[in-house]
A = this chain, B = another copy of it.
Amino acid sequence: MSNEAILFEGDYLRLRRRGTWEYAERVNARGAVVIVAVTPDNELLLVEQPRAPMGGPVLELPAGLVGDIQGEENEDMAVAAGRELEEETGYRAARFEFLTAGPPSAGLAGEVLSFYRAIELTRVGAGGGDETEEITVYAVPLGEIEPWLQDKRDAGVWVDPKIYTGLYFIQRDQG
């Protein structure tokens, strides 16, 4: 695995080669946080937004890059989780519990996602992301989550499989 090269350096992504293996990595972030947030009414918070790589809308758990803000490159993961949750969904959490961390696309990219559970949510705003984002927030009753996701699929929205990663931890801990 020696013989490393940078094949291309973009504004946001870098393409690297290690041996004969090509992979992507972010230029401007240390990683990303993904947030599993259930409201006091037992609803899962999900966000839908147009994603350029998919050419259309994708439904995902709230998430965001860590360390991509100038001057805050050493931002704590849980701090980033709080910022992203509030920006995207308008909910604030009393605290965050670490769930798991790992690479979701280890063949393609070096990116590591850290999953956190948001605890004691209160609504403090409308959400929707910052001025560069077009995010729609949903609070989906957990008892209806599967048919709700299917309706989204039928309407042409992609469903990120990491939503089920979040549902695993919810299901496990709610019994």
Contact = CB atoms under 8 A, between A and B. Distances in A.
Give chain A's interface residue range (CB within 8 Å of chain B). Answer: 35 or more
Interface in A55-113: 55, 58, 60, 100-113
A125 interface: no
Contact of A54 (B16, B17, B110, B115): B110
Nearest to A49: B106
Given A13-B108, A104-B162, 15 more contacts: A1-B52, A7-B10, A10-B22, A13-B24, A16-B53, A18-B55, A23-B52, A23-B53, A24-B108, A51-B106, A54-B103, A100-B161, A161-B162, A165-B165, A165-B168
12 contacts: A10-B22, A24-B53, A26-B108, A53-B106, A60-B106, A106-B158, A162-B162, A162-B165, A165-B168, A168-B171, A171-B171, A171-B172
